[in-house]
A and B are shown apart, each in its own frame.
Chain A
Amino acid sequence: MTTETLIWLLPLPPLAAFALIVLFTNRSKALSHSIAVAAALLSWLGSMAVFIQAIGVEHLGEHPFHSVLEWLPVGDKPFEIGVLVDPLSAVTLFFVGWTVLMIFIYSVGYHNFGQPAGDHDHPGLPPHGATVHGHTVPSVEPMYSRFFAFIALFAFGMYTLVVSDNLLTLFVGWEIMGLCSYLLIGFWFAKPSARAAAIKAFMTTRVGDVFMLMGVAYLYAATGTLSFREIFFNEEVLKHLAETPALGGFLGFSAAGLIGVLLFIGTIGKSAQWPLHVWLPDAMEGPTPVSAMIHAATMVSAGVYMVIRMFPLLSAGWEEGGPLTPAMTAMAFIGALTALFAATIALAQNDIKRVLAYSTISQLGYMIAALGIGAYVAAAFHLVTHAFFKALLFLGSGSVIHGVEHGVLHTGNHKVDPQDMFNMGGLRKKMPVTFWTFLIGGFALSGFPFVTAGFWSKDEILADAFANNLPVFLVLALSALLTAFYTMRQITLTFLGEPRTKEAAHAQETPWTMTLPLVVLSVFAIGYGWVGIPEGLTGGAIPNWFHEFVAGTLPEHLPVLEFNILPMLFSIVIALTGLGCGYYVYRNVKAGDPDPLQKPLGMVYDWLKNKYYFDQLYDRIFIQPSIWVSEVFTTLWVDRGLIDGILHGVARISYSVGGILRNDFDLPVINQFIGDGSAKVVRSAGFELRKVQTGRIQQYMVAAVVFAVGALAFFLLR
C-alpha cells in the first residue's frame, strides 16, 4: 500500500464505526465501544505510520504525499477532493491520533461501562446512579452506544480536515465537526441548558462558517482553484492576490487581505476567539470527553490549524520586519486581546471545567497572535503542545468530577455541585494519579520552566513577540502571568488543603480506563517540548527538530530567530510568580469562604464572573433584532401586510368594480336605459302611436292631406 492510499484510508475507520454503531450495534454497549475504540486505534496506527514515513522524507515540504480525486465537475475545473501530508499535517496528525485514541479509551470509563443500569435514568439525562445491595453506585450512561457513534463521526471530521489538500475538503471536515459539536454538546438533550448550549455553539460557529464560505468563494473566484499547493506554491498567484485591490476597494485591502480576513473570521468562530467566544464555555454542558475532544483534539485546534495552513495567503505581501497585512493585524490584535480577556474571566470562575474552557480560549489567542506577528512555527508548536496538555487537563477534570460524584452518590446529597471547585479540596490523597497528572498538565499550561512542553512553546511565542512586536509581547506576558495564577488557583482549590465537603472527602480514584489516558498524555505534556528547544540555549547540542521540520512546510525559508535570553527569563519569572501567588492566595480557603479575590476586586469581580455581560449584549444587539426582522418586518409588514394587502386589495377592488358595474352601470344604464329603457321607449311609443290609430277614416284622410300639403310645400319652397 502506498502512503497516499494509507492517507486516503485514515479518516475512514471512524466513519465506518459511526455507521456500524448507528445501524447495527446500537443495542450492544460492549460491541459499540469496541468498534469505536478499534476504529480510533486503526486511525492512530495509520497516523503514526504516516508520521514516521513523513519524518523520513527529505524536504517533505517540497515533495509532500499528495493525491487528488475529482468530486464535483462544475466550472472550468472540477471541484476536487484530495489528501496531502506535508510537515504541518504530519505533526497535526501525530497529536490528533494520540489525543483521539486516549479520549475514546477514557470515554469507556467515564460513561461507567460495566456498571448496572440506573434506577431512574432516562435517555437524554446524565446517569443518576443505581442501587445495588443498598448502596448507590454509578450507573451506566443510557445512550452509551450513541455517544461512541457521535464521537467517531467527530474524529472522522477531524481526520478529514487534517489530511485535506484543499479548502473544499477542509470545509467538509469543518462542517462535520460543527454538526458533531451540536450533537455532543446537546448530548443530554433533556437538560434545557444543554439544548441551549448546543444551539448556541452551532449558531455561533455557523456565523463564522458563513464568512469563511465567503472567503472560499472569493478565493475560488480570484484564482479558480481551492488547492493549497496550487495557491501557496505559486508566487504569481500570491503576488497577484496581494496586489489586486479587494472588491469595492474595501478599506483599502488587497484581495489577499480580504480573503484572509474572511477566512480568519471562520477561525474566530471555530476557535472561539473574541467576539465569537461565547459558545465555548457553555459547551461544557456536554460530557467531559466531548469537552476534551472539542477543546483539544479537534474542533478549536481545527480553527487554528486552518489559519496556520492558510498562512502564505494571510501573509501575502508581507516581508519580515515590514508592516503586517490586514489579516495579520487582525490576528495579532484579536489573538492578543482574546488571550488577555479570557484569562481575566478564568480568574473568577468556580466551575472546574469552565476555568479550563476560558484557558483554552486564552491559549488559542496565543497561537492566533503568534501567527499574526509571523511566528509560524511557534504557533504550530503551541498548537501541538496545547492539544496534549489541554486534553490531559480536561480528562483530568472529568476524572475529578467523576471522583466527587462518587462522593455525592455516597452521601446522597445531590445539591452539591460536583464541578464547583469550592466543594473540593484535598483530593490529592484520594485521587493520586489524577492529581499528579493534573499537576503536570497545569504546570504545562502555566509554562513551568524547562520540564514542561508548555514552557517551550509559550516561550517561543513570547520570544518572537519580544523581537517583533512589543505591545503584543506585553499583553501576552500579562496573560501568561494570569494563566499561571488561575491554574494554581485551580490546583490549590481542587487538590491541596483539606476537603471542604463530605463529598470531597469520599471521592474515589477513577478506573484504569480513565487514568491510563491521563498518564499517556502527561508523558507528552512533558516530553513533547523537548523537540523544540531553541538551539541558541543549548548551543546546538540538541537540534530544534520541530522548527526545522515544520518550517519546511512553507515554500520560502523562515529564518531561525536569534536566541535572546531576556524573554526566556521573563517567562520563567512570570510562570513562577503566577504559580506562587496562586498558591499563596488560595492555600487556606475554608468551606463556605468566598473567593479571596472577591473583596479586593469588587465590581470588577462581578464583571469577570458574568463574563463581561457578553451574552446579554449579544441578545440585545443580534438576537432580538433578528427576531424583530422576521416577526414584525418581513412577516407582518411585508408578507402579510404589503404583499397580501395588495393582493387582497386587488381582489377587493375587482370585487367592488364588479359591484359598481352591476349596481351603477349594469342595472341603471344597461338594464334600465338600454335594456329596459329601449323596451320602454318602444312601448311608450306604442302607447303614443296607438292614440293616432283611431280607426276613423276621416282623421286618416286629414292626416294624409296635411302630410301631402306639407310635402308639397317642402319641395316647392326648397
Chain B
Amino acid sequence: MQFPILSVIVFLPIAAGLLILLMPAGRKTEIRVTALAASVAAVLLSAWAYLSYDLAAGGYQFIEKVPWLPFLGISYHLGADGMSIPLVLLTGVVMLTGVLISWGVDDRPREFFAFLFILATGVFGVFVSLDLFLLFFFYEIAVFPMYLLISIWGWKVTREYAAMKLTLYLFIGSVFALVGALAMYFQSGLNTFDMLELEKAGFSAGFQQLWFPFVFFGFAVLGGIFPFHNWSPDGHVAAPTAVSMFHAGVLMKLGAFAALRVGIMLLPEGAQYWKWLILGLATVNVVYGAFIAMVQTDFKYVIGFSSVSHMGLVMLGFSTLTKEGMVGAGMQMFSHGVMTALFFAVVGMVYDRAHTRQIPELGGFSRVMPWPAVAFVLGGLVSMGMPGLSGFAAEFPIFMGVWRVQPWVAIFSAIAIVITAAYIIRVIGRVFFGPMPEHFAHGDHAVGDVNVLDKVAIVVICVLMVAIGVYPQIMAPLVESGVQNILRLVGGA
C-alpha cells in the first residue's frame, strides 16, 4: 500500500494537539517544543506532497478511499489536485510560522496550541476531502476552535462580541451550504456523498441554478464575500496573533476553496448562471475593502479590511470562469495567504511591544525592529501587485481574465490598486518611519527588537513571496492543471 501522506498530514496536528493536552500544564517549554516539532513535520510533509505531485499525470493524486458509513454512501476519501496542493503547503507554512510567532504566549499555552492544532487538522482536511460529508466534518472542526481561541486568548475589549459574530456567521453559512449539499445528495439518487461521483450526477439546469447560491454563498461567507464580510475584520482584530494569521491566511481560503469545490465544481451550470452576481459582489469587495482600510486608525483593522479586499480578487478570479482568472485566483489564494500571515505577524510584533495598535500613536519602528519593517514593506509591495513578487503573478492574470469577461469591472476594480497603494504607503510611513514617540525610544517601555524565532518566521514567508514572484513556474503549472479540471466541468475553454 502506498504511504497515506494526506492522512498523515491531516491527523498529525490533532495527534500533536492531544499529546500536548496530556502534558502537564506547567511544562511550557516542552509544550512549545512539541508544537514546533509537529509544525515542522507538517510543513515538511506538505512540502514533500507539493513536490511529489506528478504534474504530467494531473488530476487527483495521493488518493485514499475507505468506506465509512456505507449505508449512507459516506466514505473516507482523500485526494489532492493542483488547486488544493498549494493550499496544503500554505497551511503548513502558516502553521509553522504561527507557532514560531506564538512562542511568547504565556497564558495556558497547552490549551492554546492544542486548539490551534485541532483547527489545523480541520483546515488540512477540507483541502483534501473528496467526500462531501467528510468536507463538512472537517469544516466544522476548523471553525469551532476559532470561537474558543478568540474568546479566551483574544483582545479583551471585543473578543466576546467578535467570537460570537464570527461563529454565528460561519455556522449559519455552513447550514445553508449543508442544505444545498443534502439537496444534491437526494437529487442525485446515487446514495453517495463522493464528490467525484456527484460531479457526474448530471443535475438539471434548474436544480443547479436553484441550489448553487446556497452552496456557494454558504461557503463564501468564510471567504469574506460582500455583504457577509463583516465578521472577518472584527474577528481578525480580536484574535491573538497566530490565530489572526491562521484566520486570514488559511481560513478565508477555506471558504473560497469550498465554494469552488462544492459550488462551482458540482454545480457548474449554476455557476454559469450566477457568475454575474459573484462578479458584482466580488468587485464591491475589492474596492470597498480598500476604501475602508484606508481610513482605519487601528493597524490591525487596516490589514483586516485589506484581506476583505484581496479575497475579493480571489472571488473575482473565480467568477470569470476563464483560465487566466482562475489560475490567478489560485495563485492569489497562496500569495494572499502568506502575505497576510506576514502582516498579522508584524502587527502582533508591534503590538506586543507598543501595547497599542493606534497608527497615530506609533512611528519610527524601522529603527528598533528593522527585520519586521523590511518584511512589512515587502508584504506591502506584494499587496500592491509589484512585479517580481507573488502578488503580481496572481493579480495580473486575474485582471486579464476579468477584462475578457467584463472590461468595465476590471476598470472599476482597478481603483482598488490605487487605494491599496495609498493605505499601504500610509501605514508604512506612519508606523515604520517618521518620528518615534519618546516613550517608545527611551525609558521603561522602550521598544526592543524581535527575537530570532520571529525572524525565522519572517524570512520563510518573504522567501516564498519573492520566489513565486520571480519564478511563478514553481506554482502556476500546478494551479493550471487544477483549473483545467474545473474548466472541463464548467465547459469553458
Interface residues of A (CB under 8 A from B): 70-76, 79, 124, 168, 171-172, 175-176, 179, 182, 189-190, 195, 199, 202-203, 206-207, 209-210, 213-214, 217-218, 220-221, 247-248, 626-627, 629-631, 633-635, 638-639, 643-644, 647
Contacts and interface: CB of A to CB of B under 8 A. Distances in A.
8 contacts: A73-B480, A76-B323, A171-B387, A179-B386, A218-B403, A629-B291, A635-B296, A643-B227
A202 B421 contact: yes
B346 interface: no
A213 B291 contact: no
B288 A638 contact: yes
Contacts of A218: 403, 407
A429 to B, nearest CB: 42
A74 B323 CA distance: 7
Given A79-B396, A176-B387, 8 more contacts: A73-B476, A74-B480, A75-B327, A75-B400, A76-B493, A217-B402, A247-B408, A635-B292
B454 interface: no
**Residue from B291, B404, B477 with most neighbouring chain A CB atoms (10 Å):** B291
B388 A172 contact: yes
Contacts of B414: 210, 213-214
Contacts of B227: 643
A182 B165 CA distance: 40
Contact of B403 (A73, A217, A248): A217
Contacts of A643: 227, 230
A394 B441 CA distance: 39
Nearest to A247: B407
B170 interface: no
Nearest to A196: B429
Contacts of B399: 213-214, 217
Contacts of A635: 291-292, 295-296
A71 B230 CA distance: 37
A555 B170 CA distance: 60
Interface string B82-103: 0000000000000000000000
Contact of A639 (B230, B324, B393, B434): B230
B408 A248 contact: yes
Contact of A220 (B295, B400, B418, B480): B400
Given A71-B472, A74-B323, A210 B477 contact: no
B271 interface: no
B328 interface: yes
Contacts of B397: 72, 74-75, 79
Given A75-B397, A172-B387, A248-B408, A203 B422 contact: yes
A189 B425 CA distance: 13
A175 B417 CA distance: 13
Nearest to A647: B230
B472 A72 contact: yes
A214 B418 CA distance: 13
A241 to B, nearest CB: 15
Contact of B324 (A74, A210, A644, A647): A74
B410 interface: yes
Contacts of A626: 291, 294, 419
Contact of A73 (B230, B328, B387, B477): B477
B418 A207 contact: yes
Considering the complex of A and B, which 9 residue pairs feature the smallest CB-CB distances, nearest first?
A: A172-B387, A217-B403, A630-B291, A74-B327, A630-B295, A631-B295, A634-B291, A630-B294, A72-B472
Nearest to B287: A634
Contacts of B480: 73-74
A255 to B, nearest CB: 11
Interface in B438-493: 472-473, 476-477, 480, 493
Nearest to B399: A217
Contact of A210 (B387, B400, B417): B417
Nearest to A174: B387
A72 B393 contact: yes
Contacts of A248: 408
B411 interface: yes
Contacts of A213: 399, 414, 417
Nearest to A192: B434
A74 B396 CA distance: 11
Contacts of A214: 399, 403, 407, 410-411, 414
Interface of B: 165, 227, 230, 288, 291-292, 294-296, 323-324, 327-328, 381, 386-388, 392-393, 396-397, 399-400, 402-404, 407-408, 410-411, 414-415, 417-419, 421-422, 425-426, 429, 433-435, 472-473, 476-477, 480, 493
Nearest to B397: A74
B400 A217 contact: yes
A520 B338 CA distance: 48
A330 B255 CA distance: 46
Contacts of A189: 433-434
Contact of B381 (A179, A207, A221): A179
B292 A639 contact: yes
Given A74-B324, A247-B407, A175 B288 contact: no
Contacts of B387: 171-172, 175-176
A209 B395 CA distance: 14
Contacts of A176: 386-388
A325 B230 CA distance: 48
Contact of B230 (A179, A220, A630, A644): A644
B82 to A, nearest CB: 12
B418 to A, nearest CB: 5
A497 B112 CA distance: 78
B418 A206 contact: yes
B476 A72 contact: yes
A220 B288 contact: no
Contacts of B410: 214, 217
A154 to B, nearest CB: 14
Contacts of A190: 435
B42 to A, nearest CB: 29
A131 B445 CA distance: 35
**Of listed B295, B296, B392, residue having the most chain A CB within 10 A:** B295
B418 A210 contact: yes
B417 A206 contact: yes
A247 B411 CA distance: 12
Contacts of B230: 639, 643-644, 647
Contacts of B433: 124, 189, 195
Given A175-B387, A635-B292, A73 B473 contact: yes
Nearest to B411: A214
A588 B473 CA distance: 67
A218 B404 CA distance: 8
Contacts of B386: 175-176, 179
A638 to B, nearest CB: 7
B307 to A, nearest CB: 14
Contacts of A172: 387-388, 392
Given A72-B393, A214-B414, A631-B295, A220 B403 contact: yes
Nearest to B308: A639
Contacts of A74: 323-324, 327-328, 397, 400, 476, 480
Contacts of A633: 291
A638 B435 CA distance: 34
A203 B418 contact: yes
User: Which of B296, B393, B414: most chain A CB closer than 10 A?
Assistant: B414
Contacts of A73: 473, 476-477, 480
Most buried by B among A171, A189, A203, A630: A630
A195 B429 contact: yes
B400 A221 contact: yes
A644 B422 CA distance: 26
A351 B346 CA distance: 41
